[in-house]
């Protein structure tokens, strides 16, 4: 485990590949405003999105933190796979003692499937998050929900603002995959946060939103099984789909359960963007049409052609 091995600030600065004096300067409050370029870009709804882009050397430090978090995540997933396989094998050995000969043979023959099933299980878990992951995109997100009768789209309000300094610090300090000392947790949170939250534009923000957001995803996954739904999340865009008519009969119950989970996790639903789309109308997932096969909407091509004409 990469981060659990870090015991003090000297060790942390070594891991980040910077001098301890540079680390100290980055943590000084009076320099914080000078460490970022802040500007706005327009959103689809006409409002502005604030981008806070870190300057050097903070940018390189955040990139290194992101790199270490990627490695940590791979290690965590590997350990969980190994534990899952070990637990399953132990359970099978216990069952073996009470099985008949034919049952034992059948169980042994199916044993080789265990690793494949495990990898499939974790691949399914990893397929929930479709943004800021290698090999994932709006296309892979849309493909999960292709050719479904019903699609429910949910948007999380002020997504990045929900990842406060305190939340990031608590994750590093209390999450069982990290359990860092308070000093190290606070230092990391200070390095990745700006004005007490994760900034859009920082290279360390995407993976942190994914890692912390997995806690929410795991809770949502439980009600998805109850309502027989497929679920993906592309940053703040949540998509649920199914061919089962049960979702229409119990839509209010599902939305109530979902809102409760999201609210308890200190997120908020943007009610204005909640929508249900049906198989007999155009269904959009992260901007792509998914009714039969994944297509780009005509409006995109028109806008693109118009842009080319202008330039």
Q: Residue 306 has what pLDDT?
A: 37
**With 90 as the cut, is the pLDDT of residue 304 above it?**
no
Say what the pLDDT of residue 307 is.
35
- 35, 55 contact by CB (below 8 A): yes
Q: Which residues pair with 233 in a beta bridge?
A: 129, 238
Q: Is the pLDDT of residue 311 over 70?
A: no
Res 302: pLDDT: 43
Domain boundaries, the chain: 1-94+164-197, 125-158+203-299
Contact criterion met (CB below 8 Å) for 249 and 155: no
Residue 29 has pLDDT above 80, yes or no: no
Question: What mean pLDDT do residues 41-69 have?
Answer: 92
Asked whether the beta carbons of 152 and 240 are under 8 A apart, the reply is: yes
**Which pLDDT does position 308 carry in this prediction?**
36
Q: Are 191 and 63 in contact (CB under 8 A)?
A: no
Which of 32-41, 64-73, 301-310 shows the lowest mean pLDDT across its residues? 301-310
The topology under which CATH files domain 125-158+203-299 is: Alpha-Beta Plaits (3.30.70)
Q: SS3 of 270, please? A: coil
Predicted structure pTM score: 0.80
Residues counted in the chain: 311
- Distance between CA 52 and CA 305 in Å, rounded? 31
Dump pLDDT digits (tens) for 234-254: 999 999 999 999 999 999 999
Q: Identify the pLDDT of residue 75.
A: 75
Query: How is 84-109 classified by DSSP, letter by letter?
Result: HHHHHHHHHHHHHTT--HHHHHHHHH
What mean pLDDT comes out for the span 168-174?
A: 97
Round to the nearest angstrom and report the end-to-end CA distance of the chain.
Answer: 51
CA distances from 92 to 103, 105, 107, 138, 229 (A): 11, 12, 8, 40, 30
Running DSSP on this structure, what letter comes out for residue 2? T
CA distances from residue 290 to 150, 293, 305 in whole angstroms, order as listed:
11, 5, 23
Give the model confidence (pLDDT) of 215-231 as tens digits.
999 999 999 999 999 99
Tens digit of pLDDT for each residue in 147-167? 999 999 999 999 999 999 999
Q: Give the residue, 270 or 110, on which the prediction is more confident.
A: 270
Average pLDDT, the chain: 85
Query: Tell me, what's the pLDDT at 299?
Result: 53
CB 279 within 8 A of CB 291: yes
Is the pLDDT score of 186 beyond 70?
Answer: yes
Higher pLDDT: 257 or 294? It is 257
Q: What angle do CA 193, 195, 196 make, to 5 degrees?
A: 60
Question: Is residue 13 pLDDT above 70, yes or no?
Answer: yes
Q: Which residue has the higher pLDDT, 279 or 89?
A: 279
- Round to whole Å and give the CA distance between 311 and 309: 6
pLDDT digits (tens, 9 = 90+) for 101-133: 555 555 555 554 555 555 544 454 568 999 998
């Amino acid at each position: 485990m990469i981060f659990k091995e870090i015991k003090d600030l000297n060790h942390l600065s070594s891991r980040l590949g910077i001098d301890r004096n540079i680390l100290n300067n980055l943590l000084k409050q009076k320099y914080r405003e000078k460490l970022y370029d802040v500007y706005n870009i327009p959103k689809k709804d006409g409002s502005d999105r604030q981008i806070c882009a870190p300057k050097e050397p903070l940018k390189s430090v955040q990139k290194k933190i992101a790199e270490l978090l990627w490695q940590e995540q791979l290690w965590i997933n590997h350990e969980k796979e190994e534990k899952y396989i070990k637990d399953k094998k132990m359970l099978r050995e216990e069952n073996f003692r009470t099985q008949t000969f034919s049952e034992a043979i059948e169980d042994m023959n199916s044993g080789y499937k265990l690793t494949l099933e495990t990898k499939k299980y974790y691949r399914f878990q990893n397929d929930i998050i479709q943004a800021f992951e290698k090999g994932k995109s709006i296309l892979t997100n849309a493909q999960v929900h292709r050719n479904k009768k019903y699609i429910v789209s949910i948007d999380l309000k002020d997504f990045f603002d929900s990842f406060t300094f305190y939340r990031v610090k608590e994750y590093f300090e209390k999450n069982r995959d990290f359990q860092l000392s308070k000093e190290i947790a606070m230092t990391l949170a200070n390095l990745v946060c700006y004005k007490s939250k994760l900034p859009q534009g920082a290279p360390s923000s995407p993976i942190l939103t994914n890692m912390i957001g997995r806690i929410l995803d795991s809770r949502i996954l439980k009600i998805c099984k109850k309502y027989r739904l497929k679920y993906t999340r592309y940053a703040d865009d949540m998509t649920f789909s199914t061919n089962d008519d049960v979702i229409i009969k119990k839509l209010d119950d599902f939305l109530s359960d979902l809102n409760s989970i999201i609210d308890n996790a200190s997120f908020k639903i943007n009610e204005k963007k909640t929508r249900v789309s049906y198989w007999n109308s155009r269904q959009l997932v992260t901007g792509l049409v998914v009714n039969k096969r994944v297509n780009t909407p005509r409006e995109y091509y028109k806008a693109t052609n118009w842009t080319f004409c202008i330039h």
